[in-house]
Amino acid sequence: MIVFTCVCNGFNSRLKLYLVSCFLTFLLSACSFNKTVEITKLEARDPEAATGIKHKDLLITDNAMVAAANPYAVEAGLIILKLGGSAFDAAIAVQMVLTLVEPQSSGIGGGAFILHWDEETRKLTGLDGRETAPQSATSELFFENGQPVSWHKAVVGGRSVGVPGVIAALELGHKKYGRLPWKILFKSAIELAEQGFVVSPRLASLLDKKLNPGVELLAASRDYFYPSGQAIQAGQLKVNPELATSLKQVAQHGAKGFYQGELAADIVDAVRNTSVAPGLLSLNDLASYQAKWREPICQPYHSYKVCGFAPPTSGGTTVLATLKLLEPFKLNEYPANSVEALHLLTQAWRLSFADRNHYLGDPDFIDVPVEQLVSSEYLRTRRQLIDNTRDMGLAQAGLFDASAGLSHQQPSTTHISIVDQWGNAVSMTSSIEMAFGSAVMVGGFLLNNQLTDFAFSPEKSGELIANRVEANKRPRSSMAPTIVFDQDDNFKGALGSPGGARIINYVSQTLIGLIDWQLDIQSAIDLPKITNLNGSTAVEAGTNLADQADYFSSLGHEVVVRDLNSGLHGIWVEGGKLTGGADPRREGVAMGY
């Protein structure tokens, strides 16, 4: 413990306390395996596992706030805000530090969707930093011997790597919304990479679980995460000089330092020459990548306006459709998180997920009927399928002219919510896809495996699938960064979550907690979780919902009791003050001043 305390020197007292607490929690958890909970084995496609629950208190501040997935990253963002930086400036600093301290979830080797609220101009904008398929990719990218490979075989290696988009999106947004020089925003991450950060219990636990086999198969990631054959440990001081060098390149040269030159060549070499499933990425793919401005989609819900991100993510559309399906059911008249209300929520999810799976994809390649999918007339018809006395079973998509597009989204993702002193806000969800991404590591960071978000087969029942692989195409996502406004169009809150396709469940349940049940942001995030992806109904193990699993079974649900690993981070304006919450299921915090 003396060694651990010394490592923490230089951090503020709150961060020191948090890190010591995490270390103690890890030691205690190692001694408590006899505690019995009712839980099923983790689903194969939910690889970023739960690592325990830690109570979080509601934070209340006056001026500015950051809520994100790791205290190092939150501290870096708060430093930028106190220096006079904007919410967008702080988001850049937060993402750079997350690349270092939360490498399993996000980083500069991945992509992001960003919503930004400009308080002065009263304008909401969206930035699409989603990865793209290489120019030489075809619809048979994941075929071997004339057949699509299994998801497990597709995940690891260069073949699954898309062109990373987060750096391009952050630079594009900084040019419009930044207040501080670009270079300053990398300072905290570079210093931590050079001087070392304390490995968190969550990172250590996920490595110990060996969720991604590629991490030990591929030399660079194995040497970093399993030096001398042993996983890095919680409480250990870990340096990453290669990442420091990469970040210095980007800090000095901007996005060109990533997409062109030596670092770009190293990325291409790592992808094309990996020992497992070499990929197609080229220097031209990197040099020609462009982040895109996207118009957010907004819908009224009761007296609020809820805004999300448009396709190629399905998150915004599906969350809005879920809320509009439920609006006439007056959920505010039910007790918070009552099983009766949650049954209705699962039925709305069935309908909205059926449409999501069928219609949504990259709007630059297919016509996505977003307006129809969230229209009052269409949802009025869909709502008639909801019965409060029984589960409807597998829902079918509504009738539009578009093709099905199945894919497998993974919960290796992170979410950042920030409000600055001028009232500007950022809601940003970023990801490298599966836990530890493709496991291809270069320049001190992991590359994504986002191309596995495409449908592996280009056809279904003789029809082309909307989400099939195509050159330069963005795969469909479930990320759902969300910003909410009150009835006078004033900023009310920002939130989002990791969790793969379950992001949609986590975000919509939290919004209902905030709006219908009038909970504070931390209490809404804390709610015992329930999910349905138009299949089985999952209820969170170790909660009162698990104790009421029989209720859902009596209505015909196929019920699974399991860990549900949300990572919600949100900020909500209440009584003129900023209130912040962080998910107790992960290691994030909210900080402000």
Tell me which of 51, 132, 413, 482 is the catalytic residue: 413
The C-alpha atoms of residue 572 and residue 482 are separated, in whole angstroms, by 12
Nearest to 588 by CA among 202, 62, 42, 239: 202
Burial of 34 (0-12, 13-18, 19+ CB in 10 A): exposed
Helix (H) or strand (E) holding 217: helix 214-217
Nearest to 412 by CA among 385, 433, 395: 433
Is 413 labeled as catalytic in the residue annotation?
yes
Helix (H) or strand (E) holding 125: strand 123-129
Strand partners, 305: 300, 485
Q: ∠ CA 291-113-469 to the nearest 5 degrees? A: 70
The C-alpha atoms of residue 543 and residue 278 are separated, in whole angstroms, by 44
Cα 96 from chain centroid?
A: 15
C-beta of residue 574 within 8 angstroms of C-beta of residue 49: no
Strand partners, 418: 66, 426
Q: ∠ CA 529-534-538 to the nearest 5 degrees? A: 30
Q: What is the dihedral of CA 269, 271, 277, 279, to 10 degrees?
A: -100
- Alpha helices of 151-290 — where are they, by DSSP H? 151-155, 166-177, 187-195, 201-209, 214-217, 219-225, 241-253, 256-259, 262-272, 283-287
The three-state (H, E, C) secondary structure of 61-110, written as one string? ECCCEEEECCHHHHHHHHHHHHCCCCHHHHHHHHHHHHHHHCCCCCCCCC
Cα 496 from chain centroid?
A: 7
Both tokens of residue 230?
Answer: 């042993």
Catalytic residue positions? 413
